[in-house]
Chain A
Amino acid sequence: MIEAVMNYTFMQHALFSGLIIGFVAPLIGVFLVVRRMSLIADALSHITLSGVAAGLLLAQSVPFFQNVSPVYTGMVFSVGGAFMVDRLRQAYKFYQELAIPIILSAGIGLGVVLISLANGFNVDLFGYLFGSLLSVTEEDLWRVIIASLIVIAIVWIFYKELLYLSFDEEGARISGVPRNLINVIFSVLVALVISISMQVVGILLVSALITLPVAAALQVANSFRQTFVYAIIFGEVSVLSGLMIAYTFDLASGGTIVLVAVLLLVCVLAGKRLRNSLN
């Protein structure tokens, strides 16, 4: 694969965008998982699907949208979905998880209708559903880089607020942390990460890359900081080795990456169990 990366720009694009996503998806995932909101990634990825479908439909019917990547319409839908999740969580204070199936089914429903309007499934759509890392263009790569830099910068700036809200939302609010503002910012970050990750692993697998490395990290980390370090390491290892295996054996890259992440998680669980039984 190293040779291919040296020789082909499409492999370079694939590798770089994969490694960047392998960094930001677990970064956001840590906060989602400890806030018990990991399923929100699923809900938002399905809303992103309807956004992509809307983009494909618009590209067919409105000349202006012919040159606009459906990733952007996906992004807009994803951010909108994030706000709706927030609203629904406030409306159903005692059934906060209800927001997830509502948004998820709305996303799928709208997506399917829009897809049928756009004359059914085509190759593009298949790529968004299951990832098409090898078809990442230079423009795609730049989009991934810019969005990721924004995500990393905002997490860096609001790290202490995000941590406090994740640990003890009531305490944080009483001590004067602007909860609503931070939650809105965070929702936008999640939506951003999902829309840029979908090219790597696909809409159906985005939440895997957000949650699996974190699930493994939680087993071994002692501090919050360590959780990030481990989650990002697991994320990068999954992307890198998944991509290598997929290239070597000509497999679907998104699925392979996710399977490696699952395998890593199983190894961590088994290793921990072994260590506990030895002690």
Chain B
Amino acid sequence: MNDIILDVQHVSYRYGNKHVLEDVSLQLHQGEMLGLVGPNGSGKSTLLKIILGALPMQKGNVSWFGKPLNKFGDWPRIGYVSQKANSFNTGFPATVFEVVMMGLTSKIGLFRRPGKREKERVREAIAIVGMGEFENRNIGRLSGGQQQRVFIARALVSDPDVLILDEPTVGVDAQSEAQFYELLKQLNEERRISIVLVSHDLGAVSTKMHSIACLNRKLHFHGRAEEFERMRPEILLGSYGHDVHVLHHDH
């Protein structure tokens, strides 16, 4: 099938003797919104690092757009919003425009400087996330929710096919969170961007994503979000070890 964007096959990983991931397989299809959930220490971050090539592959295979990871080089097609974005150095002297421009660095390539066209694209990306009026604002003087929009714009500016977001709603207030999911939906529907959202917040993720992968060392569930909702007590007992009381946010 050529509409598979990300294919993870039988990936295992261990730090020393500690098995962090065991035989994990999952797929992300074109246009899909996948929620990767699991408790703290379940291996979510390790799996992310492996698929992004930041950790060496110990066992298994990962391919992006049909190409095995070690042959894949088209990283601008993947927009990554790291968890660190929530806790970056707030004293860093950069404007929203400068931060979003960073997202074009590797697309522009070495020995070239951004021109008029690139600046236009940066403004477009800032407009998509609704931060147009803050273009020249210092990044440290924005709220958590606004900063997060800027980091999404930075990931969007290289015109990616897929967005990967690591714990994006940590440290963001409820209203910004609602706007954030609205933005994801819009990106997914209007721009056909596939989304992988990593979170420990089951409530929001299971209602906003199309499919769910529930991870705790092993993959305990991988399928449609509705099915996840239906089978939730059993899945959670298996993965979280106890029944998690989930708060539903309805805005």
Contact = CB atoms under 8 A, between A and B. Distances in A.
Interface of A: 34, 156-161, 163-164, 166-168, 170-178, 217-218, 221-227
B93 A171 contact: no
Contacts of B136: 222-223
Given A163-B102, A168-B82, A176 B94 contact: no
B84 to A, nearest CB: 6
A177 B107 CA distance: 9
Interface string B48-84: 0000111000000000000000000101100010101
B95 A223 contact: yes
Contacts of B176: none
B84 A226 contact: no
A223 B100 CA distance: 13
B53 A174 contact: yes
A123 to B, nearest CB: 42
Interface in B9-68: 52-54
B220 to A, nearest CB: 27
A176 B82 CA distance: 15
Nearest to A227: B93
Contact of B102 (A172, A174, A178, A217): A172
B113 interface: yes
The 7 A-B residue pairs with the shortest CB-CB distance, nearest first, are A176-B106, A176-B75, A164-B102, A223-B95, A227-B93, A224-B94, A164-B105
A160 B101 contact: yes
Given A159-B113, A176-B75, A34 B92 contact: yes
A129 to B, nearest CB: 33
B177 interface: no
A222 B95 CA distance: 7
A175 B82 contact: no
A62 B139 CA distance: 56
Nearest to A220: B93
15 contacts: A159-B113, A160-B101, A160-B105, A164-B102, A167-B94, A168-B84, A168-B85, A168-B88, A170-B54, A174-B75, A174-B82, A176-B106, A223-B97, A223-B138, A224-B98
B128 interface: no
Contacts of A160: 101-102, 104-105, 108, 113-114
Given A160-B102, A222-B136, A224-B98, A174 B52 contact: yes
B246 to A, nearest CB: 31
Contacts of A163: 94, 98, 102
B105 A175 contact: yes
B110 A178 contact: yes
B92 A167 contact: yes
Nearest to A178: B110
A226 B111 CA distance: 23
Contacts of B104: 160
A224 B73 CA distance: 29
A51 to B, nearest CB: 31
A226 B138 CA distance: 11
Contacts of A157: 111, 113
B82 A224 contact: no
Nearest to B88: A168
Nearest to A230: B93
B101 to A, nearest CB: 7
B106 to A, nearest CB: 4
Among B94, B111, B158, residue most surrounded by chain A Cβ atoms (within 10 Å): B94
A64 B94 CA distance: 49
B84 A172 contact: no
Contacts of B82: 168, 170-171, 174
A254 B138 CA distance: 35
B187 interface: no
B93 A173 contact: no
A232 to B, nearest CB: 14
Contacts of B110: 158, 161, 178
Contact of B106 (A166, A170, A175, A226): A175
A222 B103 CA distance: 20
Contacts of B138: 222-223
A80 to B, nearest CB: 25
A212 B154 CA distance: 31
B111 A221 contact: no
A36 to B, nearest CB: 8
B102 A168 contact: yes
A187 B91 CA distance: 23
